[in-house]
Amino acid sequence: MNALTTMMLLPLIGSILVAVIPSDQVLRIKQAALGTTLLVAISGILAWVKFDSSNTALQFVESAKWIPSFGINYAVGVDGLAIVLILMSVLLAPIVVLAGWNESEGGRWSPKVFYILILVLETMMIGVFAATDVFLFYVFFEAMLIPVYFLIGGFGTGERAAAAVKFLLYSLFGGLLMLASIIGLYVISGANGGHTFDITRLSELHMHMSSMTQNLLFLGFFIAFAIKAPLWPLHTWLPDAAAASTPGTSVLLLGVLDKVGTFGMIRFCLALFPDASKTFTPLIIVLAVISIIYGAFLAIGARDIKRLIAYTSISHFGFITLGIFAMTSQGMSGATLYMFNHGFSTAALFLVAGWMQSRRGSSTIADFGGLQRVTPVMAWTFFIAGMSSLALPGLSSFVSEFLVLVGTYTRYPVAAVIATFGIVLAALYILIPVQKALHGPTTPGNENLSDLNLREKIAIAPVIAIIVALGFYPSPLLNVINPASAHVLEVQGFTDPVPSESAGK
Amino acid sequence: MDFTAPVLNYALLAPILIVLGGALLGVLIEAFAPRASRHNSQLFVTVASLVIALSALLRVRKQVSVSAAMGSITFDGAGVLFQASILVIAILSVFLIADQENFTALPAAVPGSDEERHSLQTDMRVTEVYPLTLFAVAGMLLFPLSSDLITLFVALEMLSLPLYLMAGLSRRRRLLSQEAALKYFLLGAFSSAFFLFGVAYLYGYSGSITFSGIQASIVGGSGNDVFLLLGIAFISVGLLFKVGAVPFHAWSPDVYQGAPTAITGFMAAATKVAAFGAILRIFYVAFANAEWQWRPALILISIVTMVFGSVVAISQRDVKRMLAYSSIAHAGFLLAGVIALSKAGLEASIFYLFAYGIATVGAFGIVTLVRDSAGEVTDLNRWSGLGKRSPVIASAFAFFLLAFAGIPLTSGFIGKFSIFSAAYESGSTAVLIAGVLSSAIAAFFYIRVIVLMFFKDPAEDGTSVLIPSGLTKTTIAITSVITLVLGVYPAPLINFIASSAFFIR
């Protein structure tokens, strides 16, 4: 059976398994969920090993007719970019389940519902990266909102209902704009060789569109992805959603779901509408730079640790978008690697922040202090995660951020220079909470906080390991990403600018 | 004087005749059967005649004839699909009607009179709602098959008159119910007058009352165009009234609210199929060649209807009124299928009608279950926390709402996609954009209800969900399953519709 389809079916089977376990056997339910996600992670690693990085064509391809009269297929396949993101998703899922072992309790509904939603969501996360049929992609893109909506609204804290609704409405609005564009593509494909949603055939359609049509269709896709990613000024749902979710949901939301936005920009915006992408690039570069700086300033001012992480993500997504729309091979590779790294450094931050919150009963940064003395392991984990977030050399994010800036500089030097200030600000927004929460005198009330237990250590260890290992040795990933991102650019006729000095001599 | 016996094709007319026969049998039962056995025998006769009619219809589904009743009734593939949808919806609705708790015992009694109280206390029920339903169904079956204006008018009255009565049968809030019936009747009579006026103009224009005769005159172009325009306009008023399109929608919120909920469901679902069937036939067959005259107006009505319905629904506090405005918005979406004026548009409309009708019956079926000691609770504020008390029913309702909102993996999404793509394919970009935007607005109030049910704490006022009777349970289960299956794997139905969706002249 096809590796991707298997990976999508496993969590679905797992969710049925969880559904039939009686609600009072909570431990069994958790074990079933963890077992399923581990199994998916293993099959994800196997697929990764089997993936042939020298081959730029789609791999693990499978196609079956779904709604033939509309030309809709169940079609999956991955290139180097998609497999990296799928790998990230399936690795994060068991970590989230293990790390949030107790966060499913105390929600509106029983833990059973929580794990069913997580598992169904995992199926859709894999599907959304694997789909090579635009309609199938859209179905996953929209349908995955529903489990997240219930995860935030049912198991979150604080203003969870409002945050869930805000998230859903923003996303639905973007999704419907994208639907209009998809219908446009469908109709144009019908007039040029028959209705289809096949991404390869659709990517040839832009030759048959007027530039006006192409721009409009591009915007439909781009706004949806910019809401997802999220890009300034469409970001306002994210801090609320992240603050109200459980840490595990936040990890999936920022780590995986938001990547669908940036992934979609590469997969759909660039591939389907190359001319419109060029037209809008200046605007998007500006938005990306604003996101980098604006997100960083908001993060510096944040009092709540979960909001802080959400704001840093806005800044990071600015970097990713910048790397994509620089349209250079380094920028593209850097952006893809950034997506992977951001998944893990954000996961580490959110999970540790969640543990801090559940121990202290507060997520306000000012309530912490002296954690270094009281809970050294937790403090060090947070420190490493923070250093990864500010892209300290030697940790994984540094490589990707460097690549993005280099890739941008060759084409948009001014944008790259401004974006570099984002790194300086990053040092501020990470070091301030590190100093306040970890160092200094122990804030009253924190004396008896317990350090990480064994389960939590096991959950966070692989995340830290990946952050450190990829910082020193990113080539296993880059070897897969580089050919794929070069291919993406090459297919639509984008070329790297030739360095002017060496060309002159 | 010579008298020629009319030539009727009884096999093709069988569905209508069987339903009429069942209705007459019902009248006899009402008159002669002992009171104790009346309800059960009425229910049996009603369901049996609908089922037999459906099987009789399926037996002749491949046949095509313009002379089923001397040119007044055209039997073709599209007609079969409309009739089958109406019969399926009617059977499911009768299951809801069978729960007599919501119907007054003696409709003829003056509200608040001793007679009424006595009839309720002793449960001296009359059950004329069953034959009335069958009469209405017979009219609905005839409506989309009519191929001359007189038959069309007769069918219109035949389906309307029983519905006027049925709207007044509610047990609680009798005055509101009777007001609804009266309002419906008066406005309906008014729109019938418009319709007849239009018939006269069209006859004046073409010298013919048959659709094919009118079409021939339009092609010939010899008549007076003013008469044609006035004729189309007035006939459209009559037909658009039935589907509740703006500005002819004013009756629907009041009638939806006042009528017994089971009847509202039946009316909302089945009437829409019948009326849109007739609209599609007359516009596709008789007026197709005058598209430049009516299309701009219909595009305007469609856009205004969808936007108005979606916007006004936001402020509704009563679940039945909210569903009424939502059905207005859906009438706007359905008009997009008429505007498309293509085979794709016809197929999409038929799919949409069926999917929407099924989900509507299911949704109203659930509304009948939410009650307190004084009857149904339709105030949305009192629905809060429903998900806590009866998760299954609340989930089913949420699922129907998501289907109305057109979220992927529900039938509503496939319907929305196909109808908008058909409209766009025929060049109506404005309809596509308005449709997508009003879907986004509509999503807001559907989701608000989900928030109320799941994310708010239960109100302590005795609102509870009744344990559904077997028949109501059947309806809700069947409608949910159909809504899901049509969302996940609609290909068989779409293929079936594609193979037989055609009009003959």
Average pLDDT for residues B90-94, to the nearest whole number?
A: 93
In a domain, A301, yes or no: yes
Average pLDDT for residues A305-309, to the nearest whole number?
A: 86
Q: Is A154 in CB contact (< 8 Å) with chain B?
A: yes
Residues of chain A with C-beta less than 8 angstroms from the C-beta of B442? none
In a domain, A348, yes or no: yes
Q: How far apart, in whole angstroms, are the C-alpha atoms of residue B217 and residue B232?
A: 13
Q: How far apart, in whole angstroms, are the C-alpha atoms of residue B11 and residue A297?
A: 77
Q: Is the dihedral of CA A207, A209, A215, A220 positive or negative?
A: negative
Per the structure block, which two tokens stand in for A205? 């359609």
Q: Which residues lie below 8 Å from residue A145, measured CB to CB, with a gap of 6+?
A: A167, A168, A171, A172, A175, B407
CA distances to A3, A81, A128, A401 from A77, in Å: 10, 11, 11, 28
Q: Any alpha helices (H) in A229-304, and if so which ranges?
A: 237-244, 247-250, 258-264, 271-272, 274-301
Contact B336, B428 (CB under 8 A): yes
Instruction: For residue B437, give how far its alpha carbon lies from the nearest alpha carbon of chain A (Å).
Output: 7
Pairing of strands B464-465, B370-372: antiparallel
Closest by Cβ to B454, choosing from A145, A153, A187: A153
Average pLDDT for residues B223-231, to the nearest whole number?
A: 87
pLDDT band at B325 (very low <50, low <70, confident <90, very high): very high
A73 bridge partner residues:
A65
Q: How far apart, in whole angstroms, are the C-alpha atoms of residue B162 and residue B129?
A: 9
CA distances to A298, A379, B37 from A437, in Å: 18, 9, 78
Q: What SS3 class is residue B4?
A: coil
Q: How far is CA A174 from its chain centroid?
A: 17
Tell me the per-residue pLDDT of B59-89, one tens digit each, with 9 for 90 and over.
988 888 887 778 888 888 899 999 999 999 9
Tell me the per-residue pLDDT of A33-63, one tens digit each, with 9 for 90 and over.
888 998 899 999 998 888 888 887 888 888 8
Percentage of residues of chain A with pLDDT beyond 70: 98
Tell me the per-residue pLDDT of B124-144, one tens digit each, with 9 for 90 and over.
777 889 999 999 999 999 999
In a domain, A92, yes or no: no
pLDDT band at A231 (very low <50, low <70, confident <90, very high): confident
In a domain, A39, yes or no: no
Q: Which residues lie below 8 Å from residue A361, measured CB to CB, with a gap of 6+?
A: none
Tell me the per-residue pLDDT of A104-125, one tens digit each, with 9 for 90 and over.
777 777 888 888 888 999 999 9
Percentage of residues of chain B with pLDDT beyond 90: 48
Q: Reply yes or no on whether the pLDDT at B483 is more than 70.
A: yes
Average pLDDT for residues B289-316, to the nearest whole number?
A: 90
In a domain, A447, yes or no: yes
pLDDT at A475: 83
Q: ipTM greater than 0.85, yes or no?
A: yes
Q: Is the dihedral of CA B384, B385, B389, B395 positive or negative?
A: positive
Q: What Rg, from alpha-carbon coordinates, does chain B have?
A: 22
Residues of chain B with C-beta less than 8 angstroms from the C-beta of A154? 454-455
Tell me the per-residue pLDDT of A180-226, one tens digit each, with 9 for 90 and over.
999 988 988 888 888 888 888 888 888 888 888 888 899 999 999 99
* Cα dihedral: A7, A8, A13, A18 (round 10): 100
Length of chain B as a residue count = 505
Q: Which range is least confidently modeled, A277-281, A456-460, B375-379?
A: B375-379
- Burial of B225-253, coded b for 16+ CB within 10 Å and e otherwise, reads eebbbbbbbbbbbbbbbbbbbbebbebbb
In a domain, A435, yes or no: yes
Q: Which residues lie below 8 Å from residue A150, measured CB to CB, with a gap of 6+?
A: A113, A117, A164, B454
Closest by Cβ to B498, choosing from A69, A140, A186: A69
Residue with the larger pLDDT of the pair A174 and A367:
A174
Residue A295: give the domain boundaries.
273-496
pLDDT at A505: 41
Q: Do B451 and A164 touch (CB under 8 A)?
A: yes
Per the structure block, which two tokens stand in for B135? 């009469």
Contact B490, A67 (CB under 8 A): yes
Q: Taking an 8 Å Cβ-Cβ cutoff, which residues of chain B contact chain A?
A: 388, 391, 402, 405, 407-409, 413-414, 416-418, 420-421, 424-425, 432-433, 436-437, 439-440, 443-444, 447-448, 451, 454-456, 489-491, 494-495, 498
The tally of domains found in chain A comes to 1
Residues of chain A with C-beta less than 8 angstroms from the C-beta of B448? 165
pLDDT band at B299 (very low <50, low <70, confident <90, very high): very high
Q: Do A67 and B498 touch (CB under 8 A)?
A: no
The DSSP result for B260-308, as a single string, is -HHHHHHIIIIIHHHHHHHHHHIIIIISGGGHHHHHHHHHHHHHHHHHH
Average pLDDT score over chain B: 88
Tell me the per-residue pLDDT of B438-479, one tens digit each, with 9 for 90 and over.
998 888 889 888 888 888 777 666 667 777 778 888 899 999
pLDDT at B236: 93
Q: Reply yes or no on whether the pLDDT at A504 is more than 50.
A: no
B85 bridge partner residues:
none
